[in-house]
Amino acid sequence: MVRASLRHGRFGDNKSTATPTEGTDRMAETTPAKVYFTNLRSYGRESQLDKLKRLIRRAGIDQIDFENKFVAIKLHFGELGNLSFLRPNYARAVADVVKELGGKPFLTDCNTLYVGSRKNALEHIDCAYQNGFTPYATGCQVIIADGLKGTDEVLVPVKNGEYVQEAKIGRALMDADIVISLTHFKGHEQAGFGGCMKNLGMGGGSRAGKMEQHAAGKPNVTTELCVGCRACERICAHGAISFEGTRERELPSGSTRTVPVASIDHDRCVGCGRCIGACNQDAIEPDYDAAVDVLNYKIAEYTQAIVQDRPQFHISLAMDISPNCDCHAENDTPIVPDLGMFASFDPVAIDQAAIDMALAAPALPNTELTDMRAKLEAGDGVPERCEHDHFNMTHPDTNWRSMIEHAEKIGLGTSRYELIEVK
């Protein structure tokens, strides 16, 4: 077993890169959280699944009293068409450990705000089963936490909440005695990265809760970039996008064509951002820069609502690190190599540890990450904040640090951690 201490920054560097602030002074007094890590190598008779079981036991999951307790394993079942979500085998491994410890596990997620294969419980369960998350495969049931239509929620007061006073959380998730996050660590087109807090905070919100988190900023269309493909219109669940205007588009041949251009009705728009992800022309962007920060603040506060005052445990698998959320009906190639598996009692520390390791990893060629670098270099140049940051480079309009900083501010956890490698 090898131990390495990291604080606020680069993998393998004990020196903090943060500037002195009141917040960092407070964090300096915080005991580093323990984050356990193992790579994905397997030898002899031990499979990756066996290794995962050993990792979470080494991380202390058996310190929790599971006896006859309902245990929510919060994960993402993957949108139909997406192949980067976690295999159900990993869910089975975690559920098996919980049952060995006397618990009653179930797999859960909440319905989506956008059009897709998980917008109500019937379609959501069908999607989960098609992607392999059946009771037979995983050893436990699937329960959609916010019910049939996404309206079965609990209003949960948020400790130290600044942007959310009462979070709207799926009822089954709150009815559970213990919550375990099983996260596919990846990039994200709005939050910057998709980690433990994104899995819990955004994923655990009911449909109304997701609307509340996304509603900080609403997107606009850059008319001269729109090509009239209508991908945004098809993905919008709220009828907010229309194509009443037109423009003249110059084709590669030199000829012109009249094409319809999108416009967004902000009275109908809920700010979910699906149209941003659907547009391949970069024609749709948030209304104002603060929107991404406010989204991350609310994700942290929703996570706080879910885990406060009850036992929690967190697992992140950093593999198939795609640039976007598993909510997409497709997945792009990974932006960095597979890293390994993390486990911790601290949701902030586990996210920071995975981020640090990802930032230290080499960029894979021919990915969204390298495409965006080439696009920026061909334009006004690479912003300094993106130069050595894979997540900011992939999605330059995001700011993943805001989620970490706010989570620490409200007492959700700490970004200071001790990395303990389990061989």
The pLDDT value recorded for residue 289 is: 53
Q: Give me the phi and psi of 12, to 5 degrees please.
A: 80, 10
Q: For 309, which DSSP code?
A: T
The average confidence (pLDDT) of the chain is: 91
- Spatial CA neighbour of 107 closest among 93, 91, 84: 91
Predicted confidence band at 60 (pLDDT cuts at 50, 70, 90)?
A: very high
Worst-scoring range by mean pLDDT, 5-9, 56-60, 190-194, 254-258? 5-9
Query: Cα 23 vs. chain centroid, distance in angstroms?
Result: 24
The pLDDT value recorded for residue 290 is: 62
Return the structure tokens found at 360: 């230290």
Query: Cα 283 vs. chain centroid, distance in angstroms?
Result: 24
- Tens of pLDDT, residues 251-304: 889 999 999 999 999 999 987 777 876 888 889 876 645 688 999 999 999 999
Determine the 3-state secondary structure of 295 from DSSP: helix
- Tens of pLDDT, residues 298-348: 999 999 999 999 999 999 999 999 999 999 999 999 999 999 999 999 999
Task: Please state whether beta strands 416-421 and 33-38 pair in parallel, antiparallel, or not at all (unpaired).
Answer: parallel
The pLDDT value recorded for residue 218 is: 80
d(CA 157, CA 163): 12
- Tens of pLDDT, residues 2-37: 334 444 443 333 333 333 334 444 444 679 999 999
Length of the chain: 423
The pLDDT value recorded for residue 109 is: 98
**CA quadruple 63, 300, 400, 205: dihedral sign:** positive
- pTM value is 0.83
Among residues of the chain, what percentage have pLDDT more than 70?
Answer: 91
**What are the structural domains, with CATH classification, of the chain?**
2-215+293-421 (3.40.50.11440), 220-285 (3.30.70.3270)
Determine the 3-state secondary structure of 374 from DSSP: helix
Determine the 3-state secondary structure of 421 from DSSP: strand
**CA quadruple 233, 238, 239, 243: dihedral sign:** negative
Amino acid identity of 106? F
